[in-house]
Amino acid sequence: MINRECGVYQTTYEGDMALYPAPLARHASLGAVVVLVLLPLILDSHAMALVNLITLAAIGAIGLNILVGYTGQVSLGQGAFMMVGSYTAALVTLRLDMPFWVGLPAGGAVAALVGTFFGIPSLRIKGLYLAIATLAAQFIIEWTINHSTWISGGVQSTIYVPTPSFFGLEINSEHRRYYMVLPVAFIAYVAALNLVRSRVGRAFIAVRDRDVAAEIIGVDIFRYKLLAFAVSSFYAGVAGALWTYYLKIANYEHFTLTTSVSYLAMIIIGGLGSVLGSVFGAIFITLLPIALVYVVEGGAALLGFKYAAIADLLANLRLIVFGGLIILFLAIEPEGLYRMWGNVRRYFRLWPYSY
Amino acid sequence: MSPGSPALHGPAAGPDAKATAVGTAQVEIREVSKSFGGVQAVSGVSFDVAKGEIVSVIGPNGAGKTTLLNCISGVFHPERGRIVLEGEDVTHLRPPQIAARGVARTFQNIALFRGMTVIDNLMLGRHLHMRNGVLRSMLYWGAGQREEVAHRKVVEDIVDFLEIEAIRKRPVGSLPYGLQKRVELGRALALHPKVLLLDEPMGGMNIEEKEDMARFILDVSDEWGTTIILIEHDMGVVMDISRRVVVLDLGQKIAEGTPTEVKANPLVVKAYLGTKAT
Ligand SMILES: Nc1ncnc2c1ncn2[C@@H]1O[C@H](COP(=O)(O)OP(=O)(O)O)[C@@H](O)[C@H]1O
Ligand SMILES: [Mg+2]
């Protein structure tokens, strides 16, 4: 995370190729992990709920960034792939009586299958057309889940799942749920970092940057486009499944087109083609509506409006601000918050000998 | 790089490979034709390239040289004719399949991954020789990590060979043109190709850079026994590095032979004079 290279020389390729080659970076990353693990000691359950929402969002955002940021394939279907994971987890737990740690990979696997299928159009079309094809996927999946009683049977396509437990320990508080969500997010994060710096990730980037050159050196772009859809929707599926166990409910309304758009907003604002940027984006987009509520409520109170009068405005305002920010970042800082973070980091990298 | 450097030995590169194999046609180009709309870019071109040989393809701008390379590497498929590689008809294979058969190339207008470092570009050249899939890549531990490190060593040998150590971690887009050309050769070499297709590797270079590039090409040929098909404008360079030249004009082969024979050929003189010789 923090990379100070001043005076550091690598003597082996293993060392040079490590995730954090500089010792200070290693220590900083370790420190970050310790802080994350100990976070529940300092935060109350209200704050922990926010942290949980961010952590959940980060998983889906990292997955989407692998597809959009690294491989260059647009997708408006991330919400739908999360929905697939969510319902899969609910069914696996209810019908097969499986614990959450079976439901998670199951949700990921089924979403990966569905995602790969809906990724097939990417073999023929790109850009805007692909965005529309994945938009269709979003609606088809939403409709299908909603209309098959076998999947979503019950009132309003809602499935309730029992409180998850881990070897007898009930996961029934925000603090405990954090320890269910955090390890999954940690694995998702490290796995993505490793992926993008090795063979498969390089192939993804090659497909994104120059598909003719990629093919010439033997990268099968068809294969890697589908693989990117598979990996990305696996992440989405796991995130959706976690969402189910977190809320103890699977409901399609959590995974609509709005969800897909906000995940796109996360990676655009956080930084396309950056794993850490996805996390920044998840933090930003999760906290933004809450900040908006405070601002609008405060403003309304000052002007003497009732909350009911502004509730509608608030819902729309959120989308408008998302849209505005996406345009703003695309126009001004396409590499997002990660780039800004990079600028700060670059300044300190060779510190104190910056010149 | 020493001739015995084991890591650099390509699939076709045993020290004896060249000596025994010269004389066998490794690439056969048979009556290849390709048109774009009304433009007949290549028409009925045939020639053979022996194993370990360096053949230059020359001709005025628009003669169809690049199109011919594109047909060999599978970017385009000819409407008529065949491309035969080591006895196998590869006319209709896609580029990755051609690459998997040991054909690498560079582009006239450089097609590197500009945001990636030199090392990563070369590592991409190792793609076909690596096996790591998604899970191993994500784990980056044990066998997966060993594979990355092993191929990094191969890449570093190529970096040393091309004398680009100092820029190995620079993003390719930030490099001057001549160095980019060299990096692109490096990426092609990372494939350990049996056949190397070079599209104007010295285009836009100054004399010194041209000499370096010529030396690298000759070294590759000598040490690895790689078969090379080279497109080049500069007659001087062509004379220096190849013993056989194929001349294209308006999509057709108008001459073939040693550089001296070709230079004396009236058709060639006319083609070059007609378009202002380079
Ligand atoms: N992708 C393409 N689409 C249309 N025309 C092309 C294309 N590639 C080449 N051509 C045409 O084919 C002819 C041969 O071009 P090219 O093979 O690039 O020549 P050279 O490399 O010898 O300069 C030219 O007339 C060129 O305009
Ligand atoms: Mg050309």
- Cross-chain Cβ contact B96/A219 below 8 Å: yes
pLDDT tens per residue, range A213-271: 999 999 999 999 999 999 999 999 999 999 999 999 999 999 999 999 999 999 999 99
d(CA A54, CA A33): 16
Supply B61's token pair.
């701008």
Between B273 and A127, residue with greater pLDDT: A127
State whether residue B198 is helix, strand or coil. strand
d(CA A202, CA A198): 6
Q: What is the pLDDT of residue B186?
A: 98
Q: What sign has the CA pseudo-torsion B124, B128, B130, B136? A: positive
- Domain B6-273 -> CATH class: alpha beta
Q: What is the pLDDT of residue A353?
A: 54
Q: What is the pLDDT of residue B155?
A: 97
Say what percent of chain A tops pLDDT 90: 67
State whether residue A278 is helix, strand or coil. helix
Q: What is the pLDDT of residue B21?
A: 42
Q: What sign has the CA pseudo-torsion A147, A152, A154, A155? A: negative
Which pLDDT band holds residue B275 (cuts at 50, 70, 90)? low
Distance from CA of A85 to the nearest CA of B (A): 20
Calculate mean pLDDT across residues A195-210: 96
Which pLDDT band holds residue B32 (cuts at 50, 70, 90)? very high
The number of angstroms, rounded, from the C-alpha of A317 to the middle of its chain's C-alpha atoms is 23
Question: What's the burial of A11, exposed, middle or buried (CB within 10 Å: 0-12/13-18/19+)?
Answer: exposed
Beta-sheet pairing, B103-105 with B195-199: parallel
d(CA A21, CA B143): 20
Question: What's the burial of A297, exposed, middle or buried (CB within 10 Å: 0-12/13-18/19+)?
Answer: middle
Q: Chains A, B: CB contacts under 8 A, how many? A: 103
Distance from CA of B128 to the nearest CA of A (A): 6
Calculate mean pLDDT across residues B107-120: 95
Contacts of B200 (CB under 8 A, 6+ apart): B108, B231, B232, B233
Of the candidates B215, B245, B199, B236, the residue with the CA atom closest to the CA atom of residue B61: B199
pLDDT tens per residue, range B230-256: 998 777 888 889 989 999 999 999 999
d(CA B209, CA B192): 23
Q: Is the distance from CB of A74 to CB of A200 less than 8 angstroms?
A: no
Calculate mean pLDDT across residues A52-81: 97
Supply A230's token pair.
């598979």
- Report domain extents, chain A: 38-350
Calculate mean pLDDT across residues A330-355: 70
Question: Does position B273 have pLDDT exceeding 80, yes or no?
Answer: no
Fold of A38-350: ABC transporter involved in vitamin B12 uptake, BtuC (1.10.3470)
- Cross-chain Cβ contact A205/B116 below 8 Å: yes
d(CA B95, CA B92): 9
User: A249-253, A313-317, B117-121: which range is least confident on average?
Assistant: A313-317
Q: Is the distance from CB of A80 to CB of A258 less than 8 angstroms?
A: no
CA distances from A49 to A45, A92, A136, A238, A297 (A): 6, 25, 33, 19, 21
- Report domain extents, chain B: 6-273
Q: What is the pLDDT of residue A9?
A: 60
Enter the ipTM.
0.88
Which pLDDT band holds residue B193 (cuts at 50, 70, 90)? very high
Question: Does position A351 have pLDDT exceeding 70, yes or no?
Answer: no
Question: Does position A304 have pLDDT exceeding 80, yes or no?
Answer: no
pLDDT tens per residue, range A317-335: 877 888 888 888 888 877 7
Q: Is the distance from CB of A338 to CB of A271 less than 8 angstroms?
A: yes
Distance from CA of A190 to the nearest CA of B (A): 8
Torsion of CA B173, B175, B179, B183, to 10 degrees: -40
Which candidate in A199, A200, A222 is best for mutational testing of the B interface (most B CBs within 10 A)?
A: A199
Report whether residue B63 contacts ligand 1, using a CB cutoff of 6 Å: yes
Helical (H) or strand (E) element with B197:
strand B195-199
Calculate mean pLDDT across residues A295-322: 77
Q: What is the pLDDT of residue B1?
A: 39
Contacts of B115 in chain A (CB under 8 A): 205, 209
pLDDT tens per residue, range B71-82: 999 999 999 999
Of the listed ligands, the closest to the CA of B42 is 1
Q: Is the distance from CB of A212 to CB of B105 less than 8 angstroms?
A: no
pLDDT tens per residue, range A151-192: 887 667 899 999 999 988 999 999 999 999 999 999 999 999
Gap from CA of A202 to ligand 2 centroid (Å): 28
| Phi, psi torsion values for B48, nearest 5 degrees | -110, 150
Of the listed ligands, the closest to the CA of B106 is 2
Contacts of A261 (CB under 8 A, 6+ apart): A76, A319, A322
Which pLDDT band holds residue B13 (cuts at 50, 70, 90)? very low
Question: Does position B23 have pLDDT exceeding 90, yes or no?
Answer: no
Gap from CA of B121 to ligand 2 centroid (Å): 23
pLDDT tens per residue, range A17-45: 888 888 888 888 999 999 999 999 999 99
Q: What sign has the CA pseudo-torsion A233, A239, A240, A241? A: positive
Q: What is the pLDDT of residue B89?
A: 97
Say what percent of chain A tops pLDDT 70: 93
Report whether residue B62 contacts ligand 1, using a CB cutoff of 6 Å: yes
Of the listed ligands, the closest to the CA of B251 is 1
Q: What is the pLDDT of residue B10?
A: 44
Calculate mean pLDDT across residues B141-162: 96
Question: Does position A204 have pLDDT exceeding 50, yes or no?
Answer: yes
Say what percent of chain B tops pLDDT 70: 89
Supply A123's token pair.
């073999």
Question: What's the burial of B48, exposed, middle or buried (CB within 10 Å: 0-12/13-18/19+)?
Answer: middle
Between A319 and B228, residue with greater pLDDT: B228
Q: Is the distance from CB of A134 to CB of A105 less than 8 angstroms?
A: no
Which candidate in A205, A217, A238 is best for mutational testing of the B interface (most B CBs within 10 A)?
A: A217
- Cross-chain Cβ contact B149/A215 below 8 Å: no
- Cross-chain Cβ contact A200/B134 below 8 Å: yes
Q: What sign has the CA pseudo-torsion B16, B19, B23, B29? A: positive
* pTM score: 0.90
